[in-house]
Amino acid sequence: MAGGNQSSVFEFLLWGLSERPEQQHRLFLLFLWMYLVTVAGNLLIILAIGTDTRLHTPMYFFLASLSCADIFFTSTTVPRALVNIQTQNRSISYVECLTQLYFFLTFGDMDIFLLATMAYDRYVAICHPLHYAMVMSRRCCIILVTACWTLTSLVAMTHTFLIFRLSFCSKKIIPDFFCDLGPLMKVSCSDTQVNELVLLILGGAVILIPFGLILVSYIRIVSAILRVPSAQGRYKAFSTCGSHLAVVALFFGTVIRAYLCPSSSSPNSIEEDTAAAVMYTVVTPLLNPFIYSLRNKDMKGALGRLLRGKVSSCGQ
């Protein structure tokens, strides 16, 4: 059955979460709580940065962009999973599946590129402070974020088009809670060699090149920090990078496990893949606001002023 002829009637079954009826209610409440906290936390970050002029700097501009991408990223998968759990209906149409795949890849890759951009921003700020204002100008920041959105859209479009070429026969159970490249290729009855090659080359480049740039940036940053004479100066420099490093380690660790480490079709491997998917699609966007706000005095101050402002405005 060709991909283009099955769009109106063909459905997949998302079978990545627990099948036990007694666990469905707890799963629903857990995912709902994580989604609401993720959206609220990232919205607070965006509002705090937008309303506090002291945070109108390149570092916080990129952080607000990351929070925006995280909201969209988690919104492509979790609401659908919540509906499926609540209705006990695991089906998703062919068109909905490809649409979800496109936006999932777009916002997921956006996280990767933004983390690399934030590392470059910290590199310029610490290693070339005298040129920082000129290099990371407002125009440059907008160009960088626009380039990230453009690249991610092109990459997502490429993968989605290649999936559209595939045919899907009777075996249409996806062992995941959302539509992703690997599971879709596994249930296809077409030759997926081209898809696998593009995933290896393009997907590997999208993950490993930004990851390599982040590593190089932080090697240079650490080298520069160690040359700072005062302990207080070294601590301040490290503190501005600690939050970003924590997010990078959490996100890239699970993404590399999910996409670049081969997995078998055994039940244990499928459970590990699902756990890794939950980590980078749900847990990482959930933790980002806490990591950036708890380790950053400026952000904590801005959030405090934002919340106090809301309270005072409500009381008037």
Structural domain of 181: 13-308
The helix (H) or strand (E) run that includes residue 278 is: helix 267-278
The 10s digit of each residue's pLDDT in 35-64 is 999 999 999 999 989 888 888 999 999 999
Split into its structural domains, the chain has a count of 1
Here the CATH number for the domain that contains residue 92 is 1.20.1070.10
Residue 40 lies in a domain: yes
Question: Is 7 part of any domain?
Answer: no
Identify whether 109 is part of a domain. Answer: yes
Q: 14 forms bridges with which residues in the sheet?
A: 174
Model confidence over 298-313: pLDDT tens digits? 788 888 888 777 533 4
pLDDT for position 151? 95
pLDDT of residue 149: 95
Torsion of CA 172, 177, 183, 186, to 10 degrees: -30
Other beta carbons within 10 angstroms of residue 211's beta carbon come to 19
Residue 143 to residue 291: CA distance in whole angstroms:
27
Mean pLDDT across 65-83: 93
Residue 1: pLDDT above 50?
no
Tens digits of residue pLDDT in 185-242: 888 888 889 998 998 899 889 999 999 999 999 899 888 888 877 777 677 667 667 7
pTM of the model: 0.87
Query: What is the band of 314 on the pLDDT scale with cuts at 50, 70, 90?
Result: very low
Asked if residue 316 belongs to a domain, the reply is no
